[in-house]
Chain A
Amino acid sequence: MSSLEEPLGLDKLPSLSTIDLLGRFSSSACRPRGEDTGMGNCWIDGRSCSSSNSCHEDVEQNSREAFTWRRKTRDMSPGDMSSRRTSSLGRNHIIYGSVCDSRYMPDNQYSSYCNDKGIRDMTDKFFKGIPKYVKIVEVGPRDGLQNEKNIVPTDVKVELIHRLVSSGLSVVEATSFVSPKWVPQLADAKDVMEAVRDVEGARLPVLTPNLKGFEVAVAAGAKEVAIFASASESFSKSNINCSIEESLTRYRAVAHAARKLSIPVRGYVSCAVGCPVEGAIPPSKVAYVAKELYDMGCFEISLGDTIGVGTPGTVLPMLEAVMAVVPAEKLAVHFHDTYGQSLPNILVSLQMGISTVDSSVAGLGGCPYAKGASGNVPTEDVVYMLNGLGVKTNVDLGKLLLAGEFISKHLGRPSGSKTAIALSRVTADSSKI
């Protein structure tokens, strides 16, 4: 800001204790101002959220309905929330998205400014479809690490997985059973699997490219697998050396074997928006592949914008087409942030009712198509947005940040997450006050 007077430097801002700052901000955002409004309800129609215990109930309810493999939900009492805020977030954090903030309650002193029902109806429309709870599928350990040049030691991978699980993530893609010839980074798949097979509270799917990979995965202790098809014929041929139809046939064998062992199979569709060879991909093609995967028994289909070129303008037609043939609750979105578009894409997906989002801690995983460009969307940024929207995720952002720091430190580079960087800078600054 410019001024002809002397602007106070930021170091001259009134110093406040951590508790003051946190209290001024996070708790008031989370607790409805019952005495002002008389209603105690959160702003968005239909989303009653008057205490953190009821948030817990929401999660439980969602757990039973949608996730038969659900972990035991962490107890989220009010005391728990505030202690988590102050202890895990460090000093002097003003964190708008650090916990499920619900939304802003109108200050009745000025309420005459906030009464236009017409506008409210319009904005309600944008939020009505957004799910109350979103499941994050953390793909950092697999999709994130697989293209790293330097081999990450097995114990670092395992520690990362443990930290991610402890942050509350309910699904963490642990590794991939492919030939080490092609993905040397994940040559230790068996060792990783064996080290995490007893981890409780989170599902740990692994990639299996065919029946052989599936059998090896199961032998190593995998309890859930994932298969990859492409919506682009050219990409399928160039990437896995066979046509889409041939790949589907291959995966039917995997799905069949998995069903016999009651092992859930997740299906990925790559190039769901664009392909480096073919350009724009017809939504109907994506719908076709999604339906095939669904029909062969995949419990969830993750739609991937592999080269990150999508925007809401192209994502919405694609989702429309897929949702015509696969129920929304079986769908997940996997956006790449190569062009910075993933969060708006995730937002419109939520507006359409999608409730599962793939992301990667610290934004691990570059874009193989544009070397040096970013790839996966950072989990921290996604959780920040979801918290701000009042969407439950069961993820503790503070602990997630620690997991991200851990792996970024090991890789020797800064986090790919803007939220993580911002919060770490704020903490660093505050330590000088």
Chain B
Amino acid sequence: MLAAKPLCRISRWRSFFPLTFVPLVSSLEVPLVSDELLSIGVDKLQKSCIGAFMGRANEMDTGNLWFEGRSRCSFKSRNDENTSEAFPWRRQIKSVSLGHFSNQPPGVFGTLSDAVYVPDRHYSSQYNDNCIRDVKNKFLRTIPGSVKIVEVGPRDGLQNEKEIVPTAVKVELIKMLVSSGLPVVEATSFVSPKWVPQLADAKDVIEAIRSVEGTRFPVLTPNLKGFEAAVAAGAKEVAIFAAASESFSRSNINCSIEDSLSRYHDVALAARKLSIPVRGYISCVVGCPVEGAVPPSKVAYVAKELFDMGCSEISLGDTIGVGTPGAVIPMLEAVIDVVPVEKLAVHFHDTYGQALSNILVSLQMGISTVDSSVSGLGGCPYAKGASGNVATEDVIYMLNGLGIQTNVDLGKLMLAGDFICKHLGRSSGSKTAIALSRIKTHASKL
């Protein structure tokens, strides 16, 4: 069964060879060009690609994948394990059997949670140093086995778009995101259309998706009035925003941090009465455009306040994307001191290209919820034209490569990204999406 499916996909696999192969390294000989590569043969393709993706199961004695402590005899069992413990709102887990691998193109390393390499026994004599293995395990041992992605594209991604995106397009985007397996999709925001005209159709969006099952749809509510409007429209989960920087709080929502927290107390109280979960966001957790570096202790203070008032999750946002692991780690340390790590999420911006490394260290610290935006939608309002949210596709690629379960189908996610980028008339902000689409484009020319 395992071998049969790939055989049916030969044409797709053949399509992975580039049309013209420019030598990466210099040579005085004539490098082979792509049609000669093609003639290497389907046999070798099968052997190499199947082997790469199935963890060479036949060669393994135990059937366990390589990472210490991560016993993973089948993906199905892992999914079941995680479902009930960590995610009370979990959608029905899609079965990720080994047969599923064959749907993915070869040479694509992060398309599934697959990249756990199994030592090639032929060379195993060179690979027995246990001390080094321990060193390496240390860096991945604390990483969670599964991570929940909170997709913020439809709200945080679209809200700053100049051209109004039609409601139907927003709804279609949300549906495509849901179908890729994302467990949480931030649908819209109930703010005055005066300030965020893009999301003036919040009610219509919520009404259009209220029957969509299996995914949570939190919406932003800036105060009690917005909360009530959201609930009336059918929202079942809300989110509130505070800042760790006093200046930013005043400049952005025209009140102090303390005043904003009082306001949110009211929302949290009202939400508790209706058993509606509340997610708390903290902006400027690393740096503020006005104040510069933000003290971790300040972030911890605001996080604790949000947690104490009843937020089910606190998302820590590096609003201007200036953080690096050197600044993120002290901040997380301070917050984890006062809020349990399983209640925390990270929301990094990729303005300086640092988001994935920041996410990586957050995972090493035990964080298991990551916010991201399909195609990297959403720029940085502070540095116009610079990038903003981290691209969900790139995050999934990395998590897959780390062997972390996300329940997200990268192929379907990319379709959602394609869809919205086509509508917006620009290329994706995700490098993974661009790389994979270029490979496919080449393929179509063969």
Kindly identify, within residues 117 to 142 of chain B, every residue whose CB is under 8 Å from any CB belonging to chain A.
117, 119-120, 122-124, 126-127, 129, 132-133, 135-136, 138-140, 142
CA distance A58 to B136 in the complex (A): 27
Residue A306 lies at the interface, judged by CB distance under 8 Å to chain B: yes
A390 smallest CB distance to B (angstroms): 6
B157 at the interface (CB under 8 A from A): no
Give me the 4 closest cross-chain CB pairs, A-B, nearest first: A311-B401, A388-B324, A110-B297, A25-B292
With A111-B297, A313-B115, A324-B132 as contacts: A179 and B28 at CB distance below 8 Å: yes
Residues of B near any A CB (own CB < 8 A): 16-18, 21-32, 36-37, 40, 44, 48-49, 51-53, 66, 106-110, 115-117, 119-120, 122-124, 126-127, 129, 132-133, 135-136, 138-140, 142, 159, 189-192, 194-196, 199, 220, 222-223, 225-226, 241, 243, 247, 251-255, 283, 286-287, 289-293, 295-298, 300-301, 321-327, 329-334, 336-338, 350-354, 356-357, 359-361, 364-365, 380-387, 391, 394, 397-398, 400-403, 430-432, 434-436, 438-439, 441-442
Contact (Cβ within 8 A) B353 A378? yes
| 24 cross-chain CB contacts under 8 A | A3-B222, A24-B291, A94-B289, A96-B293, A101-B327, A123-B333, A127-B329, A234-B44, A240-B23, A240-B29, A241-B30, A279-B49, A285-B120, A309-B107, A311-B115, A312-B140, A325-B126, A339-B397, A367-B438, A388-B325, A422-B351, A422-B380, A422-B383, A426-B383
17 more contacts with CB within 8 A, not counting A110-B295, A182-B28, are A96-B324, A103-B330, A119-B365, A123-B332, A240-B29, A276-B107, A279-B49, A283-B120, A284-B120, A284-B127, A309-B109, A313-B140, A348-B139, A368-B23, A385-B325, A388-B325, A422-B351
Partner of A374, one of B40, B357, B431: B431
Cβ-defined partner of A14 (8 Å) among B290, B324, B351: B290
Closest to B281 in A: A1
Once the chains bind, are B21 and A279 in contact (CB under 8 Å)? no
**Interface set, chain A 85-137, CB cutoff 8 A to B:** 94, 96-97, 101-104, 106-107, 109-111, 113-116, 119-120, 122-123, 125-127, 129
Closest CB of chain A to B246's CB: distance in Å? 12
Interface centre among B124, B133, B252, B401 (most CB of A within 10 A): B401
Please name the residue on chain B nearest to A147 by beta carbon: B22
Number of interface residues of A (CB under 8 A): 137
Q: Are B354 and A421 in contact (CB under 8 A)?
A: no
Other-chain contact of A278, B48, B199, B255, B322 (Cβ < 8 Å):
B48
| Cβ contact within 8 Å between B431 and A317 | no
| CB–CB A373/B435 < 8 A | yes
Contact A2 B325 (CB under 8 A): no
A126-B361, A178-B27 in contact; A104/B402 too (CB < 8 A)? no
Contacts of B66 in A (CB 8 A): 317
The answer on a CB contact under 8 Å between B126 and A288 is yes
Bound CA span A127–B138, Å:
11
Residue in chain B with minimal CB distance to A422: B386
Is the pair B398, A241 in contact by a Cβ cutoff of 8 Å? no
Known contacts being A16-B290, A29-B293, is A241 close to B31, with CB within 8 Å? yes
- In the complex, chain B residues whose CB is within 8 Å of the CB of A394: none
A96–B322 CB distance below 8 A:
yes
Residue of B nearest to A315 (CB): B401
Binds B, one of A68-76, A159-167, A204-212: A204-212
Do the beta carbons of B337 and A343 come within 8 Å of each other?
Answer: no
Type the 1/0 row for A292-333, where 1 means its CB is closer than 8 Å to any CB of B: 000000000000001111111110110111011100000000
